[in-house]
Amino acid sequence: MCEICEVWTAEDLYPCRVCTRVFHDGCLREMGYLRNDSVQELTETAHTSMGWSCYYCDNINLLLTEEEMYSLMETFKQCKIIPESCLGSDDFLSYKHFVSRQLFDEQMTEEMEELELGQFSALDPEKRGQIEWADFLYHESIRVLEKFRSQNSLVRLLTAKERERARASFTALDQDKDGLITGGESKKAQHTWFRKHTKESQSCNVRLVGLCSPVLNFSISHVGPISESSPASSGSGKSRDQDENRQVDWLEFLKENAIYILAARPNSGAVHLRPPL
Ligand SMILES: [Zn+2]
Ligand SMILES: [Zn+2]
C-alpha cells in the first residue's frame, strides 16, 4: 500500500531499500519529495539490486537526537558555516580544524588533513570542487553518530532489510560455514554497502550490477589473489597483519559495518563516510 495515498496497486509501486514503505512515483512527485531528475533515478534503481531510499531513510540527519542536532548546528554557527550553501575544500578543511581543536582539543596532523581531503573528494563524486550542503550535513551527522554512539546502539538503528543484506554478505564470506570470517574480510565489506547511481552506471547496467552487488564483489575477490595494499608505515606491519587475520563473528561483523551501512542510506552519489583504505 502506498505510504502517501494509502491505495494499493500491483504495478508501479516503488519499494524503499531500507524500510518497508512503498510509494507511487506520482504521489512522491505531487508531495514535492521528488525533483524531475530524481524521478528518473527512482524508476531506474528502485527495482534493481542497487535500490532507492525513501525520503525518511535518505535523510540520515534525522537519526540524530534533538540534542545532537542542536550542538551540530551550534558548531556550524561558530564556524560560520552557512546552511544551504555549498562548501569548497578550504571551507571543509577549516571546519575540520575547528572541530578538532574545539571538541577534541588536538591539532590536526598532516596525515589527518590528507584523510579529510580524501573524504572531501568522496563527497564530491563529480569533481566539481565543491560539495552540496545536504551531503556535508549528512557527512557530519554520520560523524556525530560515529563519535558519540556505541557500536551496539548503531546496530540497533539498522532495519530488518539492512540486517538481512548484511547477513547475506557475511554468509557469502564465511565459506567454510564455521560462523567466522577474518578481520580483513570484515574491513573490506565496509566498502561494499555504497551502491551509488553514477552517470557511468546509468549507461552500463551490466557494470552496475557487478559494482553494486556485495555478494558478487566478494566472490570476485575470493577468486583472484587478494591484493593487499602495501602497509603505509613499515612499523605497523605486524599489528596490521594481526588485525587482518583476527577472527570476526556475525555480531562483531555487524558492529564493524553498522556505521557504513547507515552512511550508505542516502541516494546521493556522494560517499558520506569513507571507510579506511
Ligand atoms: Zn500513492
Ligand atoms: Zn525508507
Q: What is the pLDDT of residues 112-151, one digit of tens each?
A: 999 999 999 999 999 999 999 999 999 999 999 999 999 9
pLDDT computed for residue 162 by the predictor: 98
pLDDT at 198: 66
Comparing C-alpha atoms, which of 64, 75, 68, 67 is closest to residue 97? 75
Is the pLDDT at 98 greater than 90? The verdict is yes
pLDDT over threshold 60, residue 230: no
pLDDT at 61: 97
Residue 227 has pLDDT above 80, yes or no: no
13 C-alpha to center of ligand 1: Å? 8
Give the number of residues written for the chain: 277
Residues with CB under 5 Å of ion ligand 1 are: 2, 4-5, 24, 27
CA of 122 to the centre of ligand 2 (A): 24
pLDDT number for residue 136: 98
Rounded to the nearest angstrom, the distance between the alpha carbon of 163 and the centre of ligand 1 is 27
- Band (pLDDT 50/70/90 cuts) for residue 34 is confident
- In the chain, the percentage of residues whose pLDDT exceeds 90 is 71
**How far apart, in whole angstroms, are the C-alpha atoms of residue 208 and residue 48?**
10
The share of the chain scoring above pLDDT 70, in percent, equals 86
Strand ranges inside the chain, DSSP E? 13-15, 22-24, 87-88, 130-131, 180-182, 247-249
User: Does the structure show a pLDDT above 70 at 200?
Assistant: no
Q: Residue 99 above 60 pLDDT?
A: yes
* Structural domains of the chain, ranges and CATH numbers in brackets: 13-58 (no CATH), 61-148 (1.10.238), 160-222+238-262 (no CATH)
How many angstroms separate the alpha carbon of residue 226 from the centre of ligand 2? 35
For residue 50, the Cα-to-chain-centroid distance in whole angstroms is 13
C-alpha 196/C-alpha 27 separation (Å) is 24
Give the pLDDT score at 277.
81
